[in-house]
């Protein structure tokens, strides 16, 4: 869904239809359906019982997986808070400049680069999805030969 939104923003200058109220409404409807399906599936006891998130894993494997997911959640939360603060600061500066309380001597107002934001959103989506795997790759120590022999 993020890639579709990114493509809609990237090609909106060439195809004005992509940002029409009809297309945005269709996108919002599909997005609402996907989110509602995900919420239903995650909150359904049958899904939770048979999802097998940690089934078949040894204790240290389950702990490593849980550590990776918690690390990813912490990074995403911190990144979202930092992004919110940066956008808020730029918004406050823009408001102060527009009201005339402060003069920043800018030749033009601060604007968002929509194609750049779309590309950044797609890249961040892939990083977020791969964050637990990257955490495991960074922190997992290889087994020594003695530990490897014991594991077999």
Q: Residue 8's pLDDT is what?
A: 80
Indicate the pLDDT class of residue 109, thresholds 50, 70 and 90.
low
The CA-atom distances, in angstroms, between 21 and each of 2, 7, 16, 97, 115 are 18, 16, 11, 31, 19
Phi, psi angle pair for 88, to nearest 5°:
-65, -40
* pLDDT beyond 80 at 67: yes
Q: Residue 146's pLDDT is what?
A: 75
pTM above 0.75, yes or no: no
Q: Contact at 8 Å (CB) between 54 and 65?
A: yes
Contacts 24+ apart (CB under 8 A), 20-26: none
More confident residue, 8 or 48: 8
Q: Contact at 8 Å (CB) between 24 and 30?
A: no
């Amino acid at each position: 869904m993020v890639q579709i939104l990114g493509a809609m923003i990237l090609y909106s200058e060439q195809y004005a239809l992509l940002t029409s109220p009809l297309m945005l409404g269709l996108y919002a409807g599909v997005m609402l359906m996907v989110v509602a399906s995900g919420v239903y599936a995650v909150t359904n006891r049958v899904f939770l019982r048979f999802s097998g998130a940690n089934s078949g894993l040894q204790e240290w494997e389950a702990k490593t997986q849980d550590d990776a997911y918690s690390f990813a959640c912490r990074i995403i939360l911190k990144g979202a808070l930092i992004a919110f603060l940066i956008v808020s600061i730029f918004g406050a500066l823009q408001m102060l400049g527009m009201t005339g309380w402060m003069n920043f001597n800018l030749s033009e107002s601060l604007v968002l680069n929509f194609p750049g934001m779309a590309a950044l959103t797609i890249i961040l989506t892939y990083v977020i999805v791969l964050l637990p795997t990257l955490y495991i790759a960074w922190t997992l120590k290889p087994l020594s030969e003695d530990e490897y022999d014991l594991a077999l």
